[in-house]
Amino acid sequence: MQPEFDIVIVGSGLGGLVCGAILGAEGYRVCILEKNRQLGGCLQTFARDSVLFDSGVHYIGGLSEGQTLNKVFKYLGLMDALKLQQMDEDVFDKIVFLEDGREYAMAQGYERFIDTLAADFPGERDNIRQYCNKIREVCSKFPLYNLRVADNFAEKAEILEIDTKAYIESVTSNRRLQEVLAGNNTLYAGVGDKTPFYVHALVLNSYIESSWKCVNGGSQITKHLAKRIRANGGVIRNYSTVTRFVEKDGAIQYVELADGTTVTAKHFISNLHPQQTLEMTESSLLRSVYRKRIARMENTISSFCVHAVMKPGSFPYYKHNFYIHEKNGVWEAISCEEDKWPQSCCIFFSASSRSSEFAEGMCILAYMPFGKFADWQHTFNTDTIPGDRGKDYEQYKKEKAETLISFVERKFPGIRESIQSYYTSTPLTYRDYIGTTDGSMYGVSKDYKDPLSTFISPLTRIPNLCLTGQNLMLHGILGVSISALSTCGVFTDLEKLIEKIKHA
């Protein structure tokens, strides 16, 4: 019997959608299966009191003319379709230290970035330039990130083992500058003496190149990609939870859904966390050493967010984010004791077409280990499958939210009066909506001491099962788009695809 589709893609996160859009355009008949009502995974948005909030994507790097994501998005038809707003060129991220009230701007464009920081750190200009040069050198070792096709590992072997914290400390002895350069490390859930410098470099480079917000939410990316996929004959099914990839005679024959139905295809791409994918695949073709390596991988920490609806006209809309720290020690917030929490947080403002002067909504995000919500881990709650986590949970969330708002109040005295209402998301929210085990923000956590062990190939030993998404190489919109290109390279001539992207 003929399989129903050429390619079934499990999960409609950005990785699944980009693969669907590219492979659909390359002539494959694709079907995307998504467990939630809303497509997009971390691109999902939600409205509270008529204000739109992003669940995962607050700003995007590298979207100016000529930059990598701009080219990929142009090829995908997104640049003309998206409503984008460039963040303040003089500051996309402001790093704040409550202890002494000092604030530092990270500006867009390398020269402006250097000039702005050098004004705050006279005498450090050469060191800041050296740091920027290192970022660019490291980024140049990742061919696909630069829309080149080359042997991946040979080029970058020498830079994979650089530790972010140690490198920054080697480039300047100025403690506060060290803190500032790592001050937005929530962007990659940085861990001192663990996070490789290449992760820092790939992420920071994209925002220094240019920083953008989606006006009215990142779900427009989902909407336009879904439209493109359907226009090419693709099928997208929501409310479709895949429970098993079933292998027989050396290939996946079909996926089984929670309702017992099956979908057949010639090829399968999983946009899920590789650990989930392997748990859903019994095949003996996947060697136990591979299974163990994937199972051992640690995930990045989860987060706790307050989504605040602001009283109209009461609080300014900032065209930049804030990363607020108690004091020096930006690497410590990720593991701080509960009584010292949050120690650091970030603030992202919702960009709305209704007002550019005043904030309608803002997201206050702080690290939160999954374990803090372990008491309620047996509960489940999404809009597709609603559930009640109980009064204790609501009370605990309220305590955390109030603590977080009080922390922010130290930077913005009186902000509480501008908050009309607020809603929270916890590690359990992310776990249930995204389908991970622990609500991890960015999936697999990388370690400079063993860099190869956390690189995941799109290929598996099952010849018709591939992987995509943030766990392959890098999280974030740029990282996931690049990973999707490498997955698409399994099905189509990557060099030709890259040429098409470069000339779109």
Ligand X SMILES: Cc1cc2nc3c(=O)[nH]c(=O)nc-3n(C[C@H](O)[C@H](O)[C@H](O)COP(=O)(O)OP(=O)(O)OC[C@H]3O[C@@H](n4cnc5c(N)ncnc54)[C@H](O)[C@@H]3O)c2cc1C
- Which range touches ligand X (CB under 6 A), out of 41-49, 64-72, 139-147, 401-409? 41-49
Binding map of ligand X across residues 215-254, x = CB under 6 A, - = no contact: --------------------------xx------------
Separation of alpha carbons 99 and 80, rounded Å:
44
36 contributes a contact to ligand X by CB under 6 A: yes
Q: What are phi and psi of 32, to 5 degrees?
A: -105, 130
> Minimum Å distance from CB 382 to ligand X?
9
Of 138, 330, 434, 485, which lies in the binding site for ligand X, with binding defined by CB under 6 A?
434
Task: Supply the DSSP symbol for 503.
Answer: T
Q: Where are the alpha helices (DSSP H) in 388-426?
A: 391-409, 415-418
23 contributes a contact to ligand X by CB under 6 A: no
Separation in Å, CA 220 to CA 16, 73, 79? 15, 13, 11
Which helix (H) or strand (E) segment holds residue 154: the answer is helix 152-156
Query: Which residue from 419, 392, 393 is spatially nearest to 406, judged by alpha carbons?
Result: 419
- Which range touches ligand X (CB under 6 A), out of 1-9, 35-43, 174-182, 395-403? 35-43
- Which range touches ligand X (CB under 6 A), out of 8-16, 86-94, 405-413, 446-454? 8-16
Q: Which two tokens stand for residue 349?
A: 């403002």
Separation of alpha carbons 89 and 109, rounded Å:
8
Please count the residues of this chain forming the interface with ligand X, following the rule CB under 6 A.
35
> Which residue type is seen at 262?
T
369 contributes a contact to ligand X by CB under 6 A: no
> Minimum Å distance from CB 306 to ligand X?
12
> Minimum Å distance from CB 46 to ligand X?
13
Number of H helices, E strands in the chain: 16, 19
Separation of alpha carbons 291 and 476, rounded Å:
25
Binding map of ligand X across residues 380-409, x = CB under 6 A, - = no contact: ------------------------------
> Minimum Å distance from CB 260 to ligand X?
14
441 contributes a contact to ligand X by CB under 6 A: yes
> Minimum Å distance from CB 374 to ligand X?
19
Of 7, 22, 34, 319, which lies in the binding site for ligand X, with binding defined by CB under 6 A?
34
Residue 31 three-state SS: strand
**Got the DSSP string for 21-60?**
HHHHHTT--EEEE-SSSSSBGGG-EEEETTEEEESS---E
Separation of alpha carbons 329 and 182, rounded Å:
10
- Which range touches ligand X (CB under 6 A), out of 156-164, 290-298, 310-318, 474-482? 474-482
> Minimum Å distance from CB 186 to ligand X?
9
Of 177, 263, 467, 480, which lies in the binding site for ligand X, with binding defined by CB under 6 A?
480
User: How many Cα atoms sit within 13 Å of 327 on the Cβ side?
Assistant: 4
Angle (nearest 5°) at CA 461 between 457 and 464 = 90
- Which range touches ligand X (CB under 6 A), out of 130-138, 286-294, 402-410, 427-435? 427-435
- Beta strand pairing status for 321-325 and 251-257? unpaired
Of 5, 6, 7, 11, which lies in the binding site for ligand X, with binding defined by CB under 6 A?
11
> Minimum Å distance from CB 347 to ligand X?
12
361 contributes a contact to ligand X by CB under 6 A: no
Of 470, 481, 486, 487, which lies in the binding site for ligand X, with binding defined by CB under 6 A?
470
Separation of alpha carbons 362 and 423, rounded Å:
11
Of 9, 25, 60, 362, which lies in the binding site for ligand X, with binding defined by CB under 6 A?
60
Residue 173 three-state SS: coil
57 contributes a contact to ligand X by CB under 6 A: yes
180 contributes a contact to ligand X by CB under 6 A: no
> Minimum Å distance from CB 36 to ligand X?
5
Query: Which residue from 169, 151, 145, 150 is spatially nearest to 72, judged by alpha carbons?
Result: 145
Of 21, 23, 24, 35, which lies in the binding site for ligand X, with binding defined by CB under 6 A?
35
Separation of alpha carbons 70 and 141, rounded Å:
20
Q: What are phi and psi of 215, to 5 degrees?
A: -75, 130
> Minimum Å distance from CB 416 to ligand X?
23
Which helix (H) or strand (E) segment holds residue 424: the answer is strand 419-425
- Which range touches ligand X (CB under 6 A), out of 31-39, 93-101, 159-167, 450-458? 31-39
By the criterion CB under 6 A, which residues form the site for ligand X?
A: 10-16, 33-36, 41-43, 56-60, 241-242, 271-272, 303, 430, 434-435, 441-442, 469-470, 475-477, 480
